[in-house]
Amino acid sequence: MKGIVILGFDEEGHGYIETQFPSNLSEFLGLKSKLLDTLAELHTQKKMDPHLIETKLNEEVEVISFYSGYSFRHYVGKPNFAVLIFLSEGDKISDEIEGMLRRIAHELLPKRDALNFDDILGQYYEMLKKEELTSFWEEIIEGESNQITSSSRKKEEILPSDSENKESDSKLEDSLEKTEKKIEEINNKNKELQELLDEKSGKIRELSKKYTDLTSEKNNLLEEKSSLKEELSEQYIKLESWSKQMADLNENNAKLMDDLKKSNQILKSKEKSLTEKDKEIENLKKQLQGIEEVEKEAEKMLQEKEDLRQINNGLNLELEKLENKLKSLDKDLQNLRNQNSVHIDTITNLKLEIKKLKTEDLELDKQKTQIQESIFDLKKEIKVLRRERDHYQKIVKDSKLL
């Protein structure tokens, strides 16, 4: 089998794909609207009650289609739908294919609005391929279920001709003449058998209803069983993870209990030390007097400490500045030392020149003393001459020589 399709029909009789499995089946088979319309025409040529046809839509596509019925009073599952099975070459079709397709229509078409409808369709398709579906032969007729018998599959391409119909009618007339005699004998028996048949048919209807209900319940239970198996496997996985977590938690719990014991011992020792300290504090409180004064002095000391801290910060800044200056002076000193080392030779030469100048200075001092002595003598002579001049001027004034 190539796949399964749920086909719907609109008001104008055109077919459309409601759903399919696999999801790309229509693309793979090239199912176009014309092929679906030809299939719809084949169904409408027959009676509009539920029926099965087997035909070839083209050379490559062979299909078995079950029509669910047109009337809302006579249908299987849901009216105006078809369940299509696309066959592969060499497929051996079971004689119960119509009953299995009827079951699919009965159980699936009412659920076509479900969210997991495609998954359910795939499950039914796999069961159909394995021939695990049981036949279903009930139809909804005016709100009641009606049991019908299995009908043999007829291929749509092979239809009886008019000549064959005439031959069959002649044979039937001959056989009717022969059977008229037997009918009289059988009629008497039929009356008795008819009563039994009515009773049996009623029981069969009841049993068929129970059978279909049980099979549907069985399928539902199988689905629930598979889902429960999945849930159970998930729960087992969760249980294993939880068991690992519990083992880890137990180990951590044991560690925490050991830590708790140790902390309790430490806490007891600390409580003892605290009680001793409380006693010491009480004794100190008794001994201490004037706590307010001490606090004030402490505040003053803190303030002084703050002031000293600010002063210290300022001194630190000045110290940093001085250190920077000292560094710069060290650099200058180093430069001077370098320059001094360079000019040592010049200094020695200057010293020699200074010695020469000193000797020359001594000579100049001697000459200076000599000059000063001569100047002193000249000053004496000048004084004498001035005295004489003054004397002569006085004589001139007195004698009025000018």
Which pLDDT band, with edges at 50, 70 and 90, does 4 fall under? very high
Q: Return the HEC string of 275-335.
A: HHHHHHHHHHHHHCCCHHHHHHHHHHHHHHHHHHHHHHHHHHHHHHHHHHHHHHHHHHHHH
Question: What residue ranges do the domains of the chain occupy?
Answer: 3-155, 187-288, 289-342
Distances (CA, A) of 253 to 238, 249, 258, 265, 377: 21, 6, 9, 18, 128
Is 60 exceeded by the pLDDT of residue 328? yes
Rg (CA), the chain: 67
Q: Which residues pair with 146 in a beta bridge?
A: 139
Q: Which residues pair with 322 in a beta bridge?
A: none
Give tens-digit pLDDT for 276-317: 877 877 777 776 665 666 567 667 777 877 887 888 787 778
Mean pLDDT of the region 366-381: 84
Q: What is residue 114's predicted lDDT score, i.e. its pLDDT?
A: 84
80 torsion bin: left (phi>0), alpha (psi -120 to 50), beta (else): left
Residue type present at position 218: K
Mean pLDDT of the region 103-116: 87
Q: What is residue 160's predicted lDDT score, i.e. its pLDDT?
A: 41
Mean pLDDT of the region 378-396: 82
In whole angstroms, give the CA distance from residue 367 to residue 306: 76
Token representation of residue 291: 């706590």
Output the pTM of the full model: 0.38
Which pLDDT band, with edges at 50, 70 and 90, does 83 fall under? very high
Rounded to the nearest angstrom, the gap between the alpha carbon of residue 269 and the centroid of all alpha carbons in its chain is 52
Which pLDDT band, with edges at 50, 70 and 90, does 159 fall under? very low
Is 60 exceeded by the pLDDT of residue 156? no
Q: Return the HEC string of 127-194.
A: HHHCCCCCCCCEEEECCEEEECCCCCCCECCCCCCHHHHHHHHHHHHHHHHHHHHHHHHHHHHHHHHH
Mean pLDDT of the region 134-154: 57
Share of the chain above pLDDT 90, in %: 2
Q: What is residue 388's predicted lDDT score, i.e. its pLDDT?
A: 82
